[in-house]
């Protein structure tokens, strides 16, 4: 099947725009200039979420092939390759030479593709995203997209370059692609509950996996394997997980907060397997219109779980959840709308469906990176507030030059946070910890 004129013209114009605005003279990849309509994908980050993202990309209607894989670990890459090959045999064309391992593997994989899927631990995403846009690639990047203020500033700069080059960027904040959220928030923006004044957003659960230390691991490998519990990789669960609800709050208010204050601690997860992150955060975010959003996230086993959002306005209130539900009430408590989606598409799939449809049609439609950065920084601001115990202003916090990333990325290099003689890691102490 031949490439459509729309897509050929789009890819040609993308290359021209990229050449005029790029921070590098690297030409667009050869596949963009061919008469083949195959969209070539590189997957960077071959863990569970990366494998899932590749499944969803390959499950779209477009002519797509995986042509490159990259990961820090050989075993993760091999496992991913086997799963992809088993399920999508005809759409996986990744010879051994196109399977790259190590800290610099991402650059080699990006060079072979038209579109890059990023699902590495969040700390790596700013530099990986920058490289993809430098090489003029469309991008799907998982949330969150940074772990500290320097990373956010890098993402914002890269987002500006992506828009200049008209490169599609979708961020994996999938509620933006979920029918009930789209429906209800459109009604909120249309005035269904009046001016939003307050809200409550939650991600309370029992927590996630733990990767115990193995004999012979360097400190770098241990932290990379157990990445969820180290801020340079994860950002803490208020950033890595709760970003979904914070993104919904920003979406509802069509803004980001101007300040935050809150509290958090290590109440239950206190052992050495849990690195440095907290297991609970409770934050008040204040917005420019004086709306206050209460945010709560915790990882306590054996307690009640809650993952949803509620907002109150001058004319009513709304409830939202990821289970395809949503309810609107007027100011007298009368239910005026009840969304009960049945058979709604999976939003994880929808975000890929819409991205690859746009690319195949030659359309520039998606520029999620800026709002993804703002929602990510909302979580970072909340973490900075709970770690420091201070009221923090958005603008001031965003200027922080405290980088969580190691000075050197290699297996024998040391991360910035190290265990003591008992294997325990230092963690933030409100009133003492400096975050700016």
Does residue 408 lie within any of the structural domains? no
Q: Which domain holds residue 99?
A: 5-175+350-367
CB burial of 208-235 (b: ≥16 within 10 Å; e: otherwise) equals: eeeeebeeeeebbbbbbbbbbbbbbbbb
Statement to judge: residues 327 and 215 lie in one domain? yes
Helix (H, G, I), strand (E, B) or coil at 104: coil
pLDDT at 85: 97
In the numeric block, the tokens 């975050």 are attached to 435
**Higher confidence at residue 31 or residue 298?**
298
Statement to judge: residues 112 and 239 lie in one domain? no
CA distance 229 to 346: 29
pLDDT at 196: 98
Statement to judge: residues 199 and 161 lie in one domain? no
CA 164, 366, 83 angle in degrees (round to 5)?
120
Statement to judge: residues 325 and 212 lie in one domain? yes
pLDDT at 35: 54
Residue 31 has pLDDT above 90, yes or no: no
The dihedral over CA atoms of 212, 217, 221, 226, expressed in degrees to the nearest 10, equals 0
Handedness of CA 410, 414, 415, 416 (dihedral sign): negative
Tell me, what CATH number does 327's domain have?
3.30.360.10
| φ/ψ (deg, to 5) at 374 | -65, -40
Does residue 415 lie within any of the structural domains? no
pLDDT at 343: 85
Position 7 confidence tier, pLDDT thresholds 50, 70, 90: very low
Statement to judge: residues 191 and 332 lie in one domain? yes
**How many alpha carbons fall within 13 Å on the CB side of residue 383?**
30
Does residue 150 lie within any of the structural domains? yes
Give the list of residues 6+ apart from residue 102 with CB closer than 8 angstroms, or none: 72
Does residue 37 lie within any of the structural domains? yes
15, two tokens? 């290359």
Helix (H, G, I), strand (E, B) or coil at 128: helix
Mean pLDDT across the chain, nearest whole number? 92
Statement to judge: residues 63 and 170 lie in one domain? yes
Does residue 431 lie within any of the structural domains? no
Segment 239-294, tens digit of pLDDT? 999 999 999 999 999 999 999 999 999 999 999 999 999 999 999 999 999 999 99
pLDDT at 18: 38
In the numeric block, the tokens 């990744």 are attached to 94
Statement to judge: residues 24 and 112 lie in one domain? yes
Q: How many domains does the chain have?
A: 2
Statement to judge: residues 190 and 298 lie in one domain? yes
Position 324 confidence tier, pLDDT thresholds 50, 70, 90: confident
**Higher confidence at residue 209 or residue 17?**
209
Statement to judge: residues 14 and 162 lie in one domain? yes
pTM, to two decimals: 0.92
Statement to judge: residues 109 and 34 lie in one domain? yes
**How many alpha carbons fall within 13 Å on the CB side of residue 140?**
31
pLDDT at 341: 83
Helix (H, G, I), strand (E, B) or coil at 321: strand
Alpha-helical runs (H) found in 226-346: 237-240, 243-253
Tell me, what CATH number does 157's domain have?
3.40.50.720
pLDDT at 51: 98
In the numeric block, the tokens 């196109």 are attached to 98
In the numeric block, the tokens 């960077």 are attached to 44
Q: How far is CA 343 from CA 172, 176, 323, in A?
A: 21, 18, 11
Give the list of residues 6+ apart from residue 19 with CB closer than 8 angstroms, or none: 25, 27
Residue 10 has pLDDT above 80, yes or no: no
Does residue 427 lie within any of the structural domains? no
CA distance 324 to 308: 11
Does residue 426 lie within any of the structural domains? no
In total, the chain counts a number of residues equal to 436
Does residue 407 lie within any of the structural domains? no
Residue 27 has pLDDT above 50, yes or no: no
- Annotate 366-433 with three-state secondary structure: CECHHHHHHHHHHHHHHHHHHHHCCCEEHHHHHCCCCCCCCCCCCCCCCCCCCCCCCCCCCCCCCCCC
Statement to judge: residues 44 and 148 lie in one domain? yes
305 class by beta-carbon count within 10 Å (0-12 exposed, 13-18 middle, 19+ buried):
exposed
Statement to judge: residues 257 and 361 lie in one domain? no
């Amino acid at each position: 099947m031949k490439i459509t004129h729309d897509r050929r013209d789009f890819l040609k114009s993308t290359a021209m725009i990229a050449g005029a605005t790029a921070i590098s003279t690297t030409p667009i990849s050869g596949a963009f200039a061919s008469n083949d309509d195959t969209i070539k994908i590189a997957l960077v980050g071959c863990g569970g979420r990366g494998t899932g993202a590749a499944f969803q990309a390959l499950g779209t209607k477009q002519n797509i092939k995986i042509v490159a894989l990259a990961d820090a670990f050989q075993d993760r890459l091999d496992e991913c390759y086997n799963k992809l090959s088993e399920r999508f045999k005809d759409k996986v064309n990744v010879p051994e030479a196109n399977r790259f391992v190590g800290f610099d593997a991402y650059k080699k994989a990006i060079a072979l593709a038209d579109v890059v899927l990023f699902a590495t631990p969040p700390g790596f995403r700013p530099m990986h995203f920058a490289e993809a846009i430098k090489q003029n690639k469309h991008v799907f990047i998982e949330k969150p997209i940074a772990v500290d203020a320097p990373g956010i500033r890098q993402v914002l700069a890269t987002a500006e370059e992506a828009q200049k080059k008209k490169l599609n960027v979708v961020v994996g904040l999938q509620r933006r692609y979920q029918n009930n959220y789209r429906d209800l928030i459109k009604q909120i923006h249309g005035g269904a509950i009046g001016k939003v004044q307050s809200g409550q957003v939650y991600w309370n659960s029992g927590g996630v996996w733990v990767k115990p230390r193995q004999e012979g691991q360097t400190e770098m490998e241990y932290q990379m394997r157990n990445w969820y519990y180290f801020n340079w990789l994860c950002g803490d669960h208020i950033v890595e997980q709760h970003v979904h609800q914070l993104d919904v709050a920003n979406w509802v208010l069509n803004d980001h907060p101007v300040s935050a204050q809150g509290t958090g601690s290590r109440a239950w997860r206190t052992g050495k397997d849990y690195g440095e992150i907290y297991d609970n955060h409770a934050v008040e975010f204040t917005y420019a219109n004086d709306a206050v959003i209460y945010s709560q996230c915790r990882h306590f086993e054996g307690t009640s779980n809650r993952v949803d959002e509620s907002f109150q306005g001058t004319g009513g209130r709304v409830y939202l959840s990821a289970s395809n539900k949503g309810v609107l009430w007027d100011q007298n408590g009368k239910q005026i709308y009840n969304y009960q989606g049945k058979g709604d598409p999976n939003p994880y799939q929808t975000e890929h469906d819409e991205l690859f449809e746009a690319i195949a049609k030659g359309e520039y439609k998606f520029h999620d990176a800026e709002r993804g950065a703002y929602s990510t920084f909302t979580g970072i601001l909340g973490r900075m507030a709970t770690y420091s115990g201070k009221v923090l202003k958005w603008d001031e916090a965003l200027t922080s030059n405290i980088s969580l990333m190691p000075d050197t990325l290699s297996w024998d290099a040391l991360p910035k946070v190290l265990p003591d003689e008992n294997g325990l890691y230092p963690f933030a102490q409100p009133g003492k910890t400096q975050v700016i």
